[in-house]
Structure formats: C-alpha cells, structure tokens
A and B are shown apart, each in its own frame.
Chain A
Amino acid sequence: MSEPLLKLEGVHTHIGAYHILHGVDLQVAQGELTVLLGRNGAGKTTTLRTIMGLWQASQGTIHFEGTDIAAKPTPEIAQSGIAYVPENMGIFSDLTVAENFILAARGSRRIEDMDAERLEWVFGLFPAMKRFWQHPAGLLSGGQKQMLAVARAIVEPRKLLLIDEPSKGLAPAIIQNMIVAFRELKRTDTTILLVEQNFNFARQLGDQVAVMDGGRVVHAGTMAALAEDEALQQSLLGLSLAAHQ
C-alpha cells in the first residue's frame, strides 16, 4: 500500500487546561473520501482544527505528503494544498459571493483572473452560487451558505479537503444536493476527510471510516464493512442504520 496523503500519529491536543485529543492515529489515503464519525465531544472537530494548525498539537506528528506539518502555521498549511470548511462555514457575510470566491482563489486578484472553466464546473455543482453571485453572503440561506463554504474550498484545485459536518442543520433536499456534489468531487480524484454525525449521509459517500471516542480513533476500516455490520455500528456509534432510513 502506498504512503497515505495524510497521516496522524499519536496526536495530542490541549485547549487551555483541557486535554481533548489523547493520541489520535489516523490515515487518509490519496483519492479517497474518509469519514470521521463519533458522538458529540469525541474530538472530531478538534482533529480537523489540529490538522489545520488552528490548535497546535502538543504531542505527535501530522504528516502531509510526507512532511510533518504539526508545528507549521495555518497559512502555510493551507498553502501546502489543504482546504478547510469549518463547522460554522466561515462565510464572510459582509462580502458578496463573488468576493468570497476571490479570496479563496489565492492565485487570482480579480474575478477575471479566475479559471473560467473551473468556475463553471463549480457553478454546475452549486447553481445557486451563480445566481447569487453579486449578493452579500450574509443574506444567503443556511443551505446556500454551506454550498458557498464547500464551493469556496474547491474553487482552485486542492490536494485535501477537510470538511466539518456539511449536512448539519440542512434540509433533506439540500443534503441530497451535497451528496451529488461530493460524488462529483470523488470522481475527480479529490481526497476528502469529512467529519459527520449523519451516518446515512456518510454511508453514501465514504470509502474509509474512522470512528472517534474520547479523543482517540477507536475503529478504522472501510465504510462498506461498517455499513453492513449493524452490531458494530451499535457498539461504536450507538445507532443502527435501519433507524436512519
């Protein structure tokens, strides 16, 4: 097996006096969608934030393309090819949709400088972005903001997407839209680490799955295996897939 794109080994994270991650081991393979599952407070969001350098790992290593990025500042980590969609979406509500895109496209100073073909591809995934192009992002609905957050992360090619609970609080129709968009991203060989609590959503997309509990990864394997094993789901997540269908 080839070296994973992202590899966390024994990662500990402290936030103030709190010890949140207790030695996280996680691998994300190139071109796959890995889902990070777990109950509230399991450490999923902290894991993503630690990878991004928003919270510094107090111990352990985080290798991205073979380079340890654990001590690097956030902008440098982003420049190395990692895009991050936080749980709160991180939308600049005072700026228009177009201005949000421009900031995400680091290589472009103006709209005209952006890759038109890629932009059309993004619009194909999220047509609402084209429609609301000149609207202040703060006026978009919750679902549209989530689309903007994901669209912004893919406006330029990135090696790895870290996405935190994209289905949270969204209507079923918009979740379906998201699933279609993520499938398209998978088709383009984009590597994704997705934090989710919605198992049905995760099941439809994930190649690999890691389950967290108490600040550790307690299970790692293929999504197909977990989806088929109700007893394992019950023991790891306290749920059965049937209840979600």
Chain B
Amino acid sequence: MTTPSETVAVQAPEALPVVRTDRLPLLLVPALALLALPFVGSFSTWVTLTFAGLAMGMIIFIIASGLTLVFGLMDVLNFGHGVFITLGAFMATSVLGLMTAWTVSGSLLLNLVAVLAAMLVAMTVAGGVGVAYERLIIRPVYGQPLKQILITMGGMIVGEELIKVIWGPQARPLLLPTAFQGSILMGDAAVEKYRIIAVVLGLLVFAAMAWVLSRTKAGLLIRAGVQDREMVESLGYRIRRLFIGVFIVGSALAGLGGVMWGLYQQSVIPQLGSQVNVLLFIVIIIGGMGSVTGCFIGALLVGLLGNYTGFLAPKVALFSNILLMVIVLLWRPEGLYSLGKK
C-alpha cells in the first residue's frame, strides 16, 4: 500500500475534543454512605451497616450484570433471570450437603475448596440451563417485547416448580463453612467475615468484567453491540452468537450470585429468584439498561440504602428502592449511564 497520491488538500477542523469522564454517578455511593453517617449516629453501627450494604450490593451486581448486558445487546427482557439464581443456590445446598465434612472442619483450605466447588457447579449448571433456556424460550420471541415478558415469566414459574419437584418446596439451609463464620472487629465495629468475602468477590467480578469489556475484542463487540447491533452485523460479526455467549455467562453469574445470596441468608427457598427479580430490574434501570458500570453503582446504592433505611426507618425500607429509582430517573431519565443506543 502506497501513500495517497494526491495530497489531502483541505484538512478538516482539528480542534481536540475535550474528554470528559462522567464521574458524578460514581460519587453517589460515597455520598450516600456519608449522608447516612449523621443519621445512624454511632460510627461502629455505620461501619457494620455499610459493609452489610456493600456486600448485598456486590451480590446483586453479580446477579444483575448478565441481565443488563442481555437487555443491552438484544433488547431481551428476561423476567426469568431469577430462576438461575434459585438454581445456583439449590445446587450449592446439594454440593455443600455432600461436602459437610469439609465445611464443618476448621480448615480454611477445605472450607474454601467446598465453597469454590459449590460455586463452580452452580455456575456450570446455571450456564448449561441457560443454553437450553435461550434456545427454547428466548429465541422464538426475539424482537417481540410483550411475548418476551409473558414467556420469560412463564419460564420463571415453570423453573421454580421444577426446583420444587427436585429439591422440595421447603426452605433448605445453606450454612456458612466454619472458617467463614464470625466477625472481624474494626475498632468497635463488628464486620462479618462473609460480608468482606462478598465485597472482595464482587470487586473481582467487576474488575474481570471491566477488563474483558475494555481489553478484549469480544468485550469491544459486546459494547459495540449494545450500542448499535445492526452495525456490528454489517461489519461481519454474528451478533446472535455473541448474545448466546453473553446469555450463558449471565446465567452462570446469576448462579454464582444465587450461591452467594443463599450463603448470605443462610437458607434458600424456591421463591428466591422471583423475590429478587424486582430488585434486579430496579438496579439495571437505575444504572442505565446495558451499562455494566451503571449496574455496579445501582447495585451498591440499592444495597446501601436498603441497609440504612432498614436500620433507621424499617417502614421506609419497604419502598426505598422504588423511591431511589424514581429520584434517579427524574435526574437522568435513561439511568445513570445512558448508552445512546441506536
């Protein structure tokens, strides 16, 4: 290839555009935490509540991140996402049930292996069921939002009933392994060990997703597809294959979130997924549908607000998330991070 034979006679105006990063939503999480401090009063209680809120937020993020990408990429409203959470949680009860000797031993290593095994099995099964779910339930209703809502809600109900058939309708205990129980003292504040683990794991998942989305070609394709899937196809990429991959990963992450949620609550019920579903949609609407960063911030806000209001005004906690969503949408009608979707 040679250099252009004709000199480019007229140059376009080349004023450097100013790169402005929209950091305002990022400040909401520390702002909410600081705002709550004077109302809570006691610093140690505030630390405990903040860790609890962050842990819950991280678990919600892990569950909701796949859902937001699935919507962003293909405009698919999957109201059946909750079934993967429940499935993951129940798989964990079975796996940890088989490894009771390991979970009750005092060995941190054995405890870790047991939990990691439960997480791996839950993610694999949830991802595997996700393949069938996408093929049988989602694919026939691409581009038909009303049918999507109806059929995915139906899928949720059928999935929940199947879980009852397999594991029974009763609540099943999902106890924390011995090494994960108890609290760590931070000054006067007691912070449960598991909450710290949940925060660390949530940050790792967020970092991994951020890396994949910004450093790999598959990640770039996902981000581009969320914005303009027609153009991605015009460049020669099969967006449906990409979507199936995202759906599987999203289902597996929901399974992982189910394990973490179950361990957080120390028991699981077949209705777990349907109970969490509403919360997930609130989070992804707050964050801006399709935005992983928005989903992360939205999840943390929901987790923190739920804990603060639960402590300060339990009745307000019943609708605090809806209130948060209304306030955010009044400020930014497309959520914290709008993707300028075409």
Report A's interface with B, CB cutoff 8 A. Answer: 52, 54, 73-75, 78-79, 84, 86, 88, 90, 92-95, 99, 102-104, 106, 109-110, 115, 117-118, 120-121, 124-128, 131-132, 135-136, 138-141, 143-144, 147, 152, 171, 173-174, 176-177, 180-181, 183-184, 187
Contacts and interface: CB of A to CB of B under 8 A. Distances in A.
Given A86-B231, A135-B19, A180-B6, A128 B236 contact: no
B231 A90 contact: yes
A127 B230 contact: no
A54 B4 contact: no
Interface of B: 1-19, 217, 220-221, 223-224, 227-228, 230-239, 339-340, 342
Secondary structure type dominating chain A contacts: helix
Contacts of B10: 173-174, 176-177, 180
B5 A131 contact: no
Given A78-B233, A128-B12, A103 B4 contact: no
A136 B342 contact: no
A95 B9 contact: no
Nearest to B216: A109
5 contacts: A54-B230, A75-B238, A139-B17, A173-B10, A180-B9
A139 B22 CA distance: 13
A94 B341 CA distance: 10
Nearest to A74: B233
Contacts of A120: 1, 3
B1 A181 contact: no
B164 to A, nearest CB: 41
A173 B16 CA distance: 18
Contact of A93 (B3, B8, B340): B340
Given A78-B236, A144-B12, A125 B221 contact: no
Contact of B19 (A124, A136, A174): A136
B227 A127 contact: no
Given A94-B223, A128-B14, 15 more contacts: A74-B233, A90-B342, A94-B227, A94-B340, A103-B217, A120-B1, A121-B3, A124-B3, A127-B11, A139-B17, A139-B18, A173-B11, A173-B12, A176-B10, A187-B6
Contacts of A125: 4, 8
